[in-house]
Structure 1
Amino acid sequence: MSDDRVTVTCDDCGLAETFDALGVARAFVEEHRTETGHDPTWELPSLASGVERAGDEAGVCGRPGCTDTGSPLYQGE
């Protein structure tokens, strides 16, 4: 995989796709979930540590265990 591509995989059906843009990959993941009920995963290119931390604090991943609700970046549920 190139460092600037997003890979989406689904263990339920063996799907494996790569995308040049995060937005397109995210839309594909949501469409696959809606159409199949599967829960695909994605591998993102590496981000600067500050970007990853800010995303975690803002709650962008959507998982309660990785969100800092005390951060000023937290966007709520």
Structure 2
Amino acid sequence: MADERATVTCPDCGLEESFRKLADARSRIEDHREETGHDPTWELGRLSEGVERAGDEAGICGRSGCGDEESPLFRDDL
């Protein structure tokens, strides 16, 4: 998944498509649901560096001791 940000798959029919834009992947999921009644899923590739860093600082991984308590993004209420 070099430039692709998301891969949509469907276990019911073997659908597998990769997308550069998350909006396109989301649209494909909705279209496939409407067309087939299947429940496809997506796997996200890497997010932008800033988004990953913000998530790390906020401690959104759900593990204790995760996050940067000095960051204004840190959430201790999770």
Q: TM-score range by the shorter chain?
A: 0.5 to 0.7
Distance 2:26 2:54 in 1: 21
Q: CA deviation at 1:49?
A: 5.7
**What does residue 31 of structure 1 align with?**
31
CA distance in 2, matches of 1:10, 1:25: 12
Q: Tell me the TM-score normalised to structure 1 length.
A: 0.59
Q: Tell me the distance in 1 between the aligned counterparts of 2:3 and 2:30.
A: 23
Q: How many residues align?
A: 56
Aligned to 1:20: 20
Per the normalisation by structure 2, the TM-score is: 0.58
Structure (1 or 2) with the greater helix fraction: 1
Pairwise CA RMSD: 2.5
Q: Which moved more, 1:19-28 or 1:4-13?
A: 4-13
Report the counterpart of residue 50 of structure 1 in structure 2: 54
The match for 2:6 is 6
Q: Separation in 1 of the partners of 2:22 and 2:4?
A: 10
Instruction: Give yes or no for contact 2:4–2:18 (8 Å, CA) kept in 1.
Output: no
* Residue 45 of structure 1: how far off its partner (Å): 1.6
Contact 2:7 2:44 in 1 (8 A): yes
Gap runs ≥5 in structure 1: 54-69, 72-77
- How far 1:4 moved relative to its partner? 4.2
